Structure 1
Amino acid sequence: MYEYKFVETSLGGFFSSPTHRETINAYASEGWRLVQVLPLEYNGHGKPMSYEIIFERLIKD
């Protein structure tokens, strides 16, 4: 059986840096595996502003 974690992250903007790589690396170092990335919000030009990253890992008995 697997457990899942849903983490919201940003690709950055005019005044902020992207955080997705750091988020993925941090969870991967804890044994989580990247499953999917889903856009959550879009700006007025149709560009995604935030994402939900879905991770999974095997539940240890």
Structure 2
Amino acid sequence: MEELQFRKSSYSGNRQDCVEVACHPQVGAALRDTKRREDGHLEFPATEWTAFLNATRSENL
């Protein structure tokens, strides 16, 4: 499997204590803690990840 390409959220700014996300081709999305990358990541199906993003965006309006 290809290595996941994690990136920090644009909301994180220059902080080092944030969550990173990666597109996961077989699942949907993967998340990990920037301070504990060695602990691995959590995977979320695309439908759940989309619902999460929609909910957080609607609350930030």
TM-score, with normalisation over the residues of structure 2? 0.26
- Relative contact order (alpha carbons < 8 A, sep ≥ 6): 1 or 2 greater? 1
TM-score (norm 1): 0.26
More helix by share: 2
Higher CA-based Rg? 1
Determine which structure has the larger strand proportion and give its number: 1
